[in-house]
Amino acid sequence: MLTCDDARWDREWLERDPDAHLQVYELSPHVTRRVARQLGPLARRVRFEHVDLNFAELPVERYDLIWSSGGFHCLLNLEHVLNQVAGALRPGGIFVLHGWVGERRMQFDAARLARANALLAEIPARYRRVERITPAPPWALSPFRGVRSNEILPLVHDRFDVVHERLTGRVYPLAMVVDLDAIERDDPALLERVLGVEAAARDDATLRPGVVYGVYRRRVGHSPLTSRPRRQ
């Protein structure tokens, strides 16, 4: 697992397979301590390694599955990291990527904002967390958030074959600024409308996807190149 995942997929994997072991690469000791507490006894089968993935050297052909969810868009040295992932997979191994692959630095384009704000304006105020979606100024974001997000998919496709790839998030971040739990409880029809706008957006060529759930296999014959990580 590349960075810890708040969705707690790690718990599900470990509970399903009593022989499974997991290695987590995560920069923050605070985060790994929290995850270990959440996993309880299952943490005995987890090894945490504190490392900056931008410069990590992964063991060769060690893993059957490498999972990355949520933090990949914060990496600067994408070529290096993806070469390491490709080299660390055993033959037939799988790389799973879930996260933001849209506009750099979360500076959403005009078509995305127009579609999301049009529906937001029709949602009752009690369900809205903001009145209007506007991109956060870059200085207000983490300096690494979305730093090369729009380059992720082309670099992945250079190194891996696609097993499954689902591109969504064309009206992101609409779902992040409304209370979906309350809408589901109070107005199921409105929930269907909110969710349906994403499905409808797939047919609009002006709306680029922002989120990927991709399952990839290292391309046969691909030999990961030694890359020199960028340093700041």
Give me the percent of the chain exceeding a pLDDT of 90. Answer: 68
**Joined tokens for residue 76:** 């600067």
**Joined tokens for residue 211:** 């989120």
pLDDT tens digits for 52-82?
Answer: 999 999 999 999 999 998 889 999 999 999 9
Strands (E), the chain: 22-26, 46-50, 63-69, 89-100, 160-168, 211-218
Q: Where are the domains of the chain?
A: 52-218
Q: How far, in whole angstroms, is CA 159 from its chain's centroid?
A: 18
pTM assigned to the model: 0.86
Q: Is 193 exposed, middle or buried (0-12, 13-18, 19+ CB in 10 A)?
A: middle
pLDDT tens digits for 142-155?
Answer: 899 999 999 999 99
Asked if 228 and 77 touch (Cβ cutoff 8 Å), the reply is no
What is the rounded CA–CA span in Å between residue 171 and residue 188? Answer: 20
pLDDT tens digits for 2-44?
Answer: 988 665 788 888 899 989 899 999 998 898 898 899 889 999 9
Q: What is the CATH number of domain 52-218?
A: 3.40.50
* Order of strands across the sheet that contains 211-218: 63-69, 89-100, 211-218, 160-168
Rounded to the nearest 10 degrees, the angle between the axes of helix 29-39 and helix 9-16 is: 40
* pLDDT reading at 224 higher than 80: no
